[in-house]
Amino acid sequence: MDQSALATFAAIVTSIVVEAAPFLLLGSLLASILAVFVGDAALQRIGQRSLPVQICLGLFAGLLLPTCECGIVPVARKLLRKGVPAGAAIPFMLAAPVVNPISIASTYVAFQGDLSVVLLRIGMVLLPAATLGWVLGGVKPPELLRPSLNLAPSFPMSGGGGCGCNSGCGCGGQHAHEGSPPSLHARLAEVLRHTAHEFLDMGRFLILGACAAGLFKVFMPQGVLGLVSGNPVLAVAAMMLLAVVLSVCSEADAFVAASLSMFPRPALLAFLALGPMLDLKLIPAFLGVFQRRVALAVIVVPAVMIFIMAVSLGMYWGLA
Amino acid sequence: MSFLKRLREITSGLRELPSRLQDIVDGLTLLCLGGLLAALAQSPHYWYFLNPRFSTLTLASGVLLGLVGLVPLLRPRPGRTTIARLVRQAAVLGFLCLAAYAWEQAATAPFPGVFSAPDETQALFQPTGEAEPAAAPLVTKNGAEYTRLNLAELYIMLDKGRTDYPSRFAMRVQLSEEPALKKLGLGVLTRTAVVCCLADSMQLGFLAQGLERFDTKRSDTNGWLEIYGRLEPMDPAGEQALKAVAQGEGMSLKVVNPKFRVAVEAAEPIGPPPFPYLFEFREQPPFAW
């Protein structure tokens, strides 16, 4: 790598990490507040509902809990560890970056009020998210999550949850075990401590993903994109690859897609649907947080389903 | 007695220091990262990496990260040293080094796609990064009135199929003279647009005709021009010429409008704008220029 390439690589990695860090921090903070303040029982009640209801709750929770994909994995992991069933947590993780007010508004604005793009984007995200929720719905959290990453300490403050020291916490920290409930000050300190661990846990995946995206941007020949834009099937594949490689935030990707007007609409929809579910920031996080087979399912299923949906749309519109 | 008790506490604390070291390193790592974010948000080079409208968010995140890092730093808990913990600390430290290098490059050496001047003249073209006073929305040139707008604004309006774009417009652009196009009397006018960060940056462009009638070369402008012109539909020769446009390098995707080209009615060399990137896009007057 020559100096110019190294400078470009460093600039891209820096810009991605600096852009995503606030959202990762917000996700870590949210996960920590869940851990310290929200009782396990309240979240575990979701598990008493039927699987379709769990899936619907997960799919549309992003409307109340807006977050982009940069911070979604720690929140989903925390939800699973707090006893939220996979049938709700997995659809939430995959759908919330798109099915949230900010992302919906940015898509609407970028495509100049074209509601069909907004609805198709949401539909193309909901379907794979619901499918994975359905498939993984019966799987217990210990079978979903990798135990080796349970580094962030859990706290006995939320009531009824137990700290989990003896269940593979791994942090080695001295957890508070006193019987009396901790003060608000102590809880807030625990939120910050927990946020520190969560942020560092997930931050390494963000950095790894940003490095991969930087390498692709430095070495990917841009001419390839122009060559495939005329072929509807190849254009869908190319835009999906671009979505993964660029790792653009789900709240900004609509503006990038709108600028790539030489690509057919199904390819742009594939870009818009896949990017928030799968990119180079998320792949290392999925592989690090979930058991191998679950991570592969979370990576492969949305990609395949979105490809099929986008190509089918192209055929329906007479483009392919 | 209390002195002995205090001494015992201190020695006990020192004995536990190695086991608390991991928390201390975690705290220091987060403090450094928070410091970097806060300092970058305040620096005049922030725009090299992100749209300046995010600087407040970056600053707030830096401060919060520093606060978060203080807890394990000041109140470390004993904990095991695990590979995973070392890896995450190393990842952040590695990033800090990379970011420091990128920042140093931003401060001293221009990036590809932004400047193309030879090394010895680059120092002349370091943009200030400071906001400039608003320009008049209309400008008169050779008796005709032109609406000022930026290249991305025009591109976006065309992309959306709008027909109410200004019939005559003035834009600040960088001219990319490519030999294959120059033979056909064409040039490419470009600007790099950034919505959020460099990762989503796009080098937008238009083919331009009629530039050869004007003196576009001045050694101290690094290819920056203010052009006055109008749009005309791309003809078959232009479509053919598009294939000869060089691809963008490294940082940004390069997209040249395939349907319209700019008929240049006047052009004059100008100094580089404070921000070479375009961060603001309006779809009605007054445009961001």
For residue B227, count other CB atoms closer than 10 A to its CB.
27
pLDDT digits (tens, 9 = 90+) for B149-189: 999 999 988 887 888 889 999 999 988 877 778 888 888 99
Q: Which one has a higher pLDDT value, A45 or B74?
A: B74
Name which of B248, B237, B224 is nearest B186 in CA terms.
B237
ipTM above 0.85, yes or no: no
A10: chain B residues, CB-CB within 8 Å: 98-99, 101-102, 105
The ranges assigned to domains in chain B are: 2-109, 138-269
Non-local (6+) Cβ contacts of A20 within 8 A are A70, A206, A210, A249, A281
All structural domains of chain A with their residue ranges: 3-319
Structure tokens at A74: 């720690």
DSSP string, A101-141: HHHHHHHHHHTTT-HHHHHHHHHHHHHHHHHHHHHHTT--H
pLDDT of amino acid A278: 93
Q: In chain B, what is the straight-line distance between the N-terminal and C-terminal CA atoms, in Å? A: 75
Which of B79, B197, B250 lies nearest to residue A171, judging by beta carbons?
Answer: B79
Chain A residue with minimum CA distance to B69 = A196
CA distance to partner chain B, nearest, from residue A171 (Å)? 6
Residue contact B255–A259, C-beta within 8 A: yes
pLDDT tier, B17 (very low <50, low <70, confident <90, very high otherwise): low
Are the C-beta atoms of A273 and A298 separated by less than 8 Å? no
Nearest CA among B256, B52, B282, B254 for reference residue B153 = B282
Question: What letter would DSSP give residue A154?
Answer: P
Percent of residues, chain B, with pLDDT higher than 70: 85
Which range, of A315-319, B9-13, B202-206, averages the lowest pLDDT?
Answer: B9-13
- To test the contact with chain B by mutation, choose from A6, A15, A24, A155 the residue with the greatest count of B C-beta atoms within 10 A, namely A15
Task: For residue range B38-72, list pLDDT tens digits in order.
Answer: 999 999 889 889 888 889 999 999 999 999 999 99
Residues 244-273 of B with CB under 8 A from A: 247-248, 250-251, 253-255, 258
**If pLDDT is split at 50, 70 and 90, which confidence band does B127 have?**
low
Instruction: Report how far apart, in Å, the C-alpha atoms of B63 and of each of A25, B36, B68, B243 are.
Output: 11, 10, 9, 49
Q: Do A213 and B27 touch (CB under 8 A)?
A: no
Pick the CATH number of B138-269 from 1.10.8, 2.60.40, 2.40.50, 1.20.120: 2.40.50
Amino acid, single-letter form, for residue A163: C
Question: How far does A208 lie from chain B, in Å, by closest CA?
Answer: 8
Q: Which residues of A touch B54 (CB under 8 A)?
A: 19
Comparing alpha-carbon positions, the chain A residue that sits nearest to B253 is: A222
B86 to chain A, any CB pair closer than 8 A? The answer is: no
- Inter-chain residue contact B30 with A199, CB threshold 8 Å: yes
Residue listed under structure tokens 């931003």: B106
The mean predicted confidence, pLDDT, of chain B is: 83
Residues of B in Cβ contact (< 8 Å) with A259: 155-156, 159, 193, 202, 204, 255
Cα of A248 to nearest chain B Cα, Å: 6
Residue B247 has a pLDDT of: 64
Of B75, B111, B200, the CB nearest to A256: B200
Quick one: pLDDT at residue B124?
Answer: 42
Is the Cβ pair A246, B85 closer than 8 Å?
Answer: no
DSSP bridge pairs for B228: B170, B266
| Rounded average pLDDT per 10-residue block, chain A, 320 residues | 81 89 87 83 82 94 79 88 91 93 80 87 96 92 74 45 38 47 85 91 85 80 70 90 82 72 86 92 91 94 96 83
| Option in A11, A29, A203 nearest B88 (CB) | A203
B53 close contact with A: CB closer than 8 A: no
Show residues of chain B in contact with A152, CB under 8 Å: none
Distance between CA atoms of B175 and B190, rounded to whole angstroms?
A: 7
Between A207 and B244, name the one with better pLDDT.
A207
Q: Do A11 and B106 touch (CB under 8 A)?
A: yes
Q: How far apart are CA A18 and CA A13, in angstroms?
A: 8
Residue type, A231: N
Q: Could you give phi then psi for residue B175, rounded to 5 degrees?
A: -90, 125
B99 to chain A, any CB pair closer than 8 A? The answer is: yes
Paired tokens of B124: 């002349």
Collect all residues of chain B within an 8 Å Cβ-Cβ radius of residue A32. Answer: none
**Which pLDDT belongs to residue B272?**
80
Q: Under an 8 A CB cutoff, do A19 and B251 touch?
A: no
Task: Check: CB of residue B186 under 8 Å from CB of residue B208.
Answer: yes
User: Is B65–A248 a contact, with Cβ atoms under 8 angstroms apart?
Assistant: no
User: Pick from B30, B33, B195: which is nearest to A256 by CB?
Assistant: B195
Instruction: Name the token pair of A104.
Output: 């919906």
